[in-house]
Amino acid sequence: MSSKVLTCRQAWFAELLSEFHCSITYCHGHLATLLDSLSGWDNVYPERGEDLISKNPMNLQKLIKKDEVKPSRFFAVKVECLSNLIESFQKKLWKDSQYRNILQELGKGRSVQDYSLDSSIQLLFFKDWVVVPNDPTIQLRILQKRHDSHLAGLPCQEKTLELVKRDFYRSRMTQFIKYYVSSCQKCSRNKNIHRKKLGLLKPLPILNGPWFCLSMNLITQFPLSNSFDSILVIVDRISQMAVLQIMVSITSMDLAHLFIKNIFSKHSLPSSIFSDKVSVFVSSFWTNICQQLTISRDLSPADHPETDVKTERANQILQQ
């Protein structure tokens, strides 16, 4: 903080620290002691119950006495913190079609696997977790306590999911939590992005003439028509001419024969071929042929079909 001009974040911390009488000193790296192997792991303690409290991993010797080590005492504290949500849980659970039948069965005294009903507070439990009804307002309030609060400290997606799963259960909860954390404005402002920067878009090279660069795609699992169920699509990138070849299930050797018959015999040898990562295009036989003929193979990833736009467009016209 010796700089005369502070950034916005440094000024915010300077204003916050000015309320406290403390001195910040620098500690050399060789003086900073590291945690031992056991203290560094967070899974050496039991997850819940009386075993967790008896281990006392949070170093609460001054607050907890031996005769007070009971899970019910600690669970009562949790219920008290969420007392304003209990009434909402009771109303929304009966309106949730996913758990209405389970509540009716438990209300009649019948047993449902892994589910139990606490008659004193009218909460539905899945094993040891409180079942959260399908209500966005309740889910947001829980996430605000486990992510936005000062005690939670704006954890990442995995940590927030871990904090919520300590006490609550809801099917398809992971996707909702990841969406909530990824859209958190405080996290986006104050946290750095720890992933590698995306590379620049590189356009395809300018071609010398027609049939020098091709794109290939294989469409399979068609309904049988005259014993054929697949179509091989080959498109020239300059002339936009498409060659369609119907076939049965194809192998790499069949692909080589079709390529020589329909492309090499009529349009000479291409310099590069674009294709996706189908097993036929990445087989060792087809790879060796391309290497011997000095043909460059460019494979597009499965989650980015827009890399080979011309063939994908030809596929759309063909399927129409």
The answer, yes or no, to whether residue 49 has pLDDT greater than 60, is no
90 and 173: one domain? Answer: yes
Specify the CATH number for the domain of residue 230. 3.30.420.10
**Are residues 261 and 299 located together in one domain of the fold?**
yes
Which pLDDT band holds residue 46 (cuts at 50, 70, 90)? low
Whether residue 41 is contained in a domain is answered as: no
Asked if residue 99 belongs to a domain, the reply is yes
CB-CB neighbours of 233 under 10 Å? 20
Q: Is residue 54 part of a domain?
A: no
- The pLDDT-based confidence of 319 (bands split at 50, 70, 90) is low
Work out the pLDDT band at 76, boundaries 50, 70, 90.
Answer: very low
What average pLDDT does the chain have?
75
The predicted pLDDT at position 311 comes to: 64
pLDDT of residue 35: 56
User: What is the band of 219 on the pLDDT scale with cuts at 50, 70, 90?
Assistant: confident
We report the CATH number of the domain holding residue 87 as 1.10.340.70
Q: What is the pLDDT of residue 56?
A: 53
Categorise residue 309: left if φ over 0, alpha if ψ from -120 to 50, beta otherwise. Answer: alpha
Q: Is residue 3 part of a domain?
A: no
Q: Helix or strand or coil: residue 124?
A: strand
* Count of residues in the chain: 320
Residue in the block written with tokens 């004193």? 120
Q: Report the pLDDT value the prediction gives residue 74, as an integer from 0 to 100.
A: 46
Q: 227 lies in which domain range? A: 213-319
Rounded-to-integer distance, Cα 92 and Cα 100, Å: 10
In the three-class reduction of DSSP (H, G, I as helix; E, B as strand; rest coil), residue 162 is classed as helix
> Is residue 49, in this structure, part of any structural domain at all?
no
**Cα separation, 135 vs 100, whole angstroms:** 14
Residues 142, 81: Cα–Cα separation, whole Å: 11
Mean pLDDT on 133-161: 86
244 phi and psi angles, rounded to 5 deg: -115, 135
- Residue 200 lies inside a defined structural domain of this protein: no
What is the structure's pLDDT at 320?
A: 61
Q: Are residues 181 and 266 in the same domain?
A: no
**What pLDDT sits at residue 36?**
56
Domain boundary among 190, 205, 222: 190
Residue 8 lies in a domain: no
CB atoms within 10 A of CB 314: 22
pLDDT at 156 over 50: yes
Taking only the tens place, the pLDDT of each residue in 175-212 is 889 899 988 888 888 887 777 777 777 776 777 788 88
Tally of domains in the chain: 2
| pTM, entire model | 0.43
